[in-house]
Amino acid sequence: MFDFSPGDDLELIVATTRELAARELAPALRRNESARGVAAQARQAYAAVGLDRIELPDVVGGAGLGAVARVLVNEELAAADAGAALALDPLGPALYPLLELRDVEMLRAFAVPLLGDREARALLVTDGDARLEIGDTTISALVPWLPADRVDLLVVLHGDQLLLVREGFALEPLRGAGLHAAGASELRLDGAPIAARRADAAGAARARARARLYMASLLLGVLRQAADFSREYALGREAFGRPIAHHQALAFLIADMRTAVVGARVLLHEAAWRLDQGLDARAAAAAAFVEAIEASRLVGPNAVQILGGHGFMQDHPVEKYMRDARLLGLTLGGVDAARDDAAGALAGSGDVQLSHFASRTKDDGLRRHGL
């Protein structure tokens, strides 16, 4: 018999993260949105349980737990507030290019120092996020939107190249549509000095895969909460003598939303497992990101519609879930860039059976969840 449980260590991490999110993030959801930030107490709690170091190698003081641990943690945090989850993580997806270079000295020089400042932020920018002009020693760029009001380190993935920038940031605050607790800014660089530069085709591809799983796991947490909240609302609101969830059309919609969430989770976990096993995960990670975005187009708007007029009011959080989900789906070049990378990886590797395997894995997962 195969055991698909995450194991005792990961289950403990998930339970600890869920408790932290319920205690520190969920009650402060609207307050963090208004403040465009997270309270110092939440930052302290996040660091105290080691979530800021969960993927750092042990050689630099991290836990070295890998991609599966990160996606499990992100889902729990984002179920409370995806914007706060981004704000709490000083390194975020910007860590992955440094990890994939496997250069301990670069990690010590650029990543580890940020952990000493709980408000520090490292941001990742890819070709799909910005207009870039790269010279021999300087970089100019326009990034129309970043989920941050502060940048301490900018990590740029340009083709097969990794560029690190520590200064020269010009940030213009934006109102933003969602993820407010993380902040929102337009970023400009005008001939900023490049602090470090490397080229590594395989490392860049794996870094993109990891970054997509990071954002997809946040998106999954948002969708899970949106589906659960709207379902509970439908079970509690009555029309024509019975809960509206018992009317066939709405019951089918709720089931479809739940199916979309579980299906996205299965593909996400499969891709994270491949990364942790050292397997080629480019297509799997891109497909998981695409699946999460497609699920968001079903779950986000329909969660609002289930609540009717209440869905658009801040008395309930589903309008926030819809906004956050839409923005998460636009990161890293969005769904089009992910589809292009998935197609390129499949065509280039000859792994033409991967899409069929992913589909079969998703179907097996749905059956295990009784769907």
Q: Is the pLDDT of residue 79 over 60?
A: yes
Whole-number Å distance between alpha carbons of 205 and 123 = 18
What is the H or E stretch that residue 234 is in?
helix 201-236
- Arithmetic mean of pLDDT, 204-212: 95
Query: pTM of this prediction?
Result: 0.90
Strand partners, 146: 185
- DSSP class of residue 357 equals H
179 pLDDT exceeds 50? Answer: yes
What's the pLDDT at 239? 81
What's the Cα-to-Cα distance from 281 to each of 178, 218, 269, rounded to whole Å? Answer: 29, 19, 11
Reported as a single tens digit per residue, the pLDDT across 104-151 is 999 999 999 999 888 899 999 998 888 999 999 999 999 999 999 999
Instruction: For 153, list phi and psi in degrees, rounded to 5.
Output: -145, 130
Coil vs helix vs strand at 152: coil
The per-residue pLDDT for 4 is 54
What 8-state DSSP symbol labels residue 54?
Answer: S
How far is the C-alpha of 254 from the C-alpha of 312, rounded, in Å?
19
Amino acid present at 104:
V
Tokens of 69: 């641990």
Phi-psi group of 194: left, alpha or beta (phi > 0 → left; psi -120 to 50 → alpha; rest → beta):
beta
- Confidence check: pLDDT of 369 > 50: no
Between CA 121 and CA 87 the distance in angstroms is: 8
Q: In this structure, what token pair is assigned to residue 237?
A: 């609101």
pLDDT category, 349, cuts 50, 70, 90? low
Exposure pattern of 183-193 as b/e (b: 16+ CB <10 Å)?
bbbebbbeebe
Instruction: Provide the residue type at 145 as one letter.
Output: W
Mean pLDDT for the stretch of residues 76-93: 96
For residue 241, the model assigns a pLDDT of 82
- The DSSP code for 27 is G
Q: With 70 as the cut, is the pLDDT of residue 363 above it? A: no
Handedness of CA 336, 340, 341, 343 (dihedral sign): positive
On whether the 8-199 domain is CATH 1.10.540.10, my answer is: yes
The reply to whether domains 8-199 and 202-368 share a CATH topology is no
Q: What is the mean pLDDT of residues 242-264?
A: 92
Give the domain 202-368 fold. Butyryl-CoA Dehydrogenase, subunit A; domain 3 (1.20.140)
